[in-house]
Structure 1
Amino acid sequence: MGQRADPDWDEIFMQAALQPDMWLGALDALASQTGSGHGQLIGVGGAREIPFNIVTNFSTDLIDHFAVSGWGAETHNFRVAASNRHIERGFYDPILFEEHYDQVIPQLASSDYLDWCEEIGIPFGCQTNLVIDNFGIVGLATLRDRKDGRTTAAQRKIFASGAKAARRAVRLQEKLEGEQAKLLAGAFDAIQVSAFIIDVRGQLLAHSIGADAMLAAGDVRVAGQSIDAPGAPFTLRQTVQALTADGGLDHMRTQIITAENRPPLMIEGFRLPEREWSLGKLPHAILIANGPRRDRAGVTQYLSAIYRLSPAEADIAVRLFEGKPRARIAAERGVTAETLRGQIKQIYLKCGVDSEAALMRLLAPILS
Structure 2
Amino acid sequence: MVAEPRGIANHFLEAAIEPARWLDVLQHVAEETRSRHAQIVGVGPDFDVGFNWVNGMDASAHAAADRTELMLPSTNYRVAAGLSAAPHDVVWENSYAALRPRLTGDAYLDLCSDLDIPNGCQTNLVAGADGLIGFSLLRSAREGPTDAATRAMFAAFSAAARVAASLQVALEQDGCKLVAGSFDAMDVACFVLDQRMHVRALSRAAEDLLTRGALRLVEGRVSSPMPQIARRLSAATQAVRDQGVAAASVVVPQHAGASGADLLTLKLHRLPMRPWNMGFAPFAILTAKRQSAATDGDLKLLRDDYGLTAAEAEIAMLLRQGHSRAQISERRGIGAETLRSHLRALFGKLGVRRETEAIHLLHALLS
TM-score (norm 1): 0.69
Q: How far apart are 1:110 and its partner, in Å?
A: 4.3
Say whether 1:181 aligns with 2:173. Answer: no
Cα distance change of structure 1 residues 103 and 210 upon mapping to structure 2, 3 Å threshold? closer
Q: How far apart are 1:224 and its partner, in Å?
A: 3.4
- 1:145 is matched with which residue? 140
Cα distance in 1 for residues equivalent to 2:268 and 2:72: 36
Cα distance change of structure 1 residues 271 and 78 upon mapping to structure 2, 3 Å threshold? closer
Cα distance in 2 for residues equivalent to 1:92 and 1:129: 7
**In structure 2, the residue corresponding to 1:51 is in which secondary structure?**
strand
- 1:285 is matched with which residue? 284
Residues 189-198 or 100-109, more deviating: 100-109
- 1:238 is matched with which residue? 235
Alignment of 1:291-310 (within 5 A): none
- 2:244 is matched with which residue? 248
- 1:213 is matched with which residue? 208
**In structure 2, the residue corresponding to 1:141 is in which secondary structure?**
strand
Q: How far apart are 1:115 and its partner, in Å?
A: 4.2
Q: Deviations over 1:52-97 (max 9, x none)?
A: 221110112212212348333344433334445x53xxx3432222
Cα distance change of structure 1 residues 290 and 116 upon mapping to structure 2, 3 Å threshold? closer
Q: Deviations over 1:121-178 (max 9, x none)?
A: 2122221121221111211111122332332322222111110111111111111111
**In structure 2, the residue corresponding to 1:43 is in which secondary structure?**
strand
- 1:274 is matched with which residue? 273
Cα distance in 2 for residues equivalent to 1:367 and 1:165: 52
Q: How far apart are 1:34 and its partner, in Å?
A: 0.6
Note if contact 1:49-1:201 (Cα within 8 Å) is conserved in structure 2: no
- 1:158 is matched with which residue? 153
Q: Deviations over 1:194-227 (max 9, x none)?
A: 2121222222222112223323333222233222
Q: How far apart are 1:30 and its partner, in Å?
A: 0.7
Say whether 1:17 aligns with 2:16. Answer: yes
- 1:93 is matched with which residue? 88
- 1:35 is matched with which residue? 34
Cα distance in 2 for residues equivalent to 1:257 and 1:74: 42
Residues 101-110 or 116-125, more deviating: 101-110
**In structure 1, the residue corresponding to 2:66 is in which secondary structure?**
helix
Cα distance in 2 for residues equivalent to 1:82 and 1:268: 41
117, 128, 146: which one aligns with 1:122: 117
Say whether 1:52 aligns with 2:51. Answer: yes
Give me the CA root mean square deviation. Answer: 3.0
Q: Deviations over 1:10-63 (max 9, x none)?
A: 111111111111111111111111111111111224256442221110112212
Cα distance in 2 for residues equivalent to 1:237 and 1:57: 38
**In structure 2, the residue corresponding to 1:70 is in which secondary structure?**
helix
Note if contact 2:49-2:66 (Cα within 8 Å) is conserved in structure 1: no
Q: Deviations over 1:262-297 (max 9, x none)?
A: 532323221101122422212211122249xxxxxx
Note if contact 1:233-1:254 (Cα within 8 Å) is conserved in structure 2: no
- 2:61 is matched with which residue? 62
Structure with the greater alpha carbon radius of gyration: 2
TM-score (norm 2): 0.69
Cα distance in 2 for residues equivalent to 1:26 and 1:189: 38
Structure 2 unmatched ranges of 5 or more:
291-362
- 2:127 is matched with which residue? 132
- 2:254 is matched with which residue? 258
Note if contact 1:47-1:134 (Cα within 8 Å) is conserved in structure 2: no
In structure 2, what residue type is equivalent to 1:191? Answer: M
Cα distance change of structure 1 residues 223 and 118 upon mapping to structure 2, 3 Å threshold? closer
Q: How far apart are 1:107 and its partner, in Å?
A: 4.6
Note if contact 1:189-1:210 (Cα within 8 Å) is conserved in structure 2: yes
Cα distance in 1 for residues equivalent to 2:49 and 2:68: 16
194, 198, 202: which one aligns with 2:193: 198
Note if contact 1:219-1:257 (Cα within 8 Å) is conserved in structure 2: yes
Note if contact 2:126-2:133 (Cα within 8 Å) is conserved in structure 1: yes
- 1:335 is matched with which residue? none
Cα distance change of structure 1 residues 367 and 10 upon mapping to structure 2, 3 Å threshold? farther
Cα distance in 1 for residues equivalent to 2:77 and 2:230: 49
